[in-house]
Amino acid sequence: MSESLASGLRKSDALHPKLKQSFVKYGQRYHGKLVGEELAIQTAANLLILHTMRGVVCFNLVFVARVIYVDRQTLLEYEQYSKECIEEIEQFREEKEQEINRLRRKLKVLKLVEDDMSKAAIRARAKATESEP
């Protein structure tokens, strides 16, 4: 990749002279001594590609970390919401169980009252039939 970029920079006469000169200076500064123009441009192109790739990697790492953080936050919010819903359902179920138990006790009392009333009615009829001559 850097080979094709450096080749294009070396062969292109349309390249602005100041840009070409800055590439040469950068490449020579990297080597620490005077080197040929082609080697300096090749080195500068390699470094340009390297720094660009590092920038892309850093950007992607930050992006992925942000996505993971947002996903984690969303997951935590969802779990909290789920817990709240489950607690509400449990509370509703307990309330209904208490109501059912209350109604069962009431029904049991009503059945006892009904049994007492029917026994009393039977006794009353029995007394009425005994008192009739």
53-84 pLDDT, tens digit each? 899 999 999 999 998 998 989 999 999 999 99
Q: Between residues 114 and 83, which one has the greater pLDDT?
A: 83
Dihedral, 23, 28, 29, 33 alpha carbons, nearest 10 = -170
The pLDDT, as a whole number, for residue 39 is 83
pLDDT digits (tens, 9 = 90+) for 7-51: 666 666 556 778 778 878 888 888 887 888 778 878 888 888 888
* 3-state SS assignment for residue 15: coil
What is the predicted pLDDT for the residue at 83? 95
End-to-end Cα distance, the chain: 127
Q: What is the number of structural domains in the chain?
A: 1
- Structure confidence at residue 132 as a pLDDT band (50, 70, 90): low
Q: Which residue has the tokens 């390297």?
A: 50
User: Cα separations (Å) of 41 from 18, 74, 112?
Assistant: 13, 49, 105
| Pair 2, 45: CB distance under 8 Å | yes
How many Å apart are CA 78 and CA 118, to the nearest integer? 59
Tell me which residue range forms the domain holding 110: 2-131
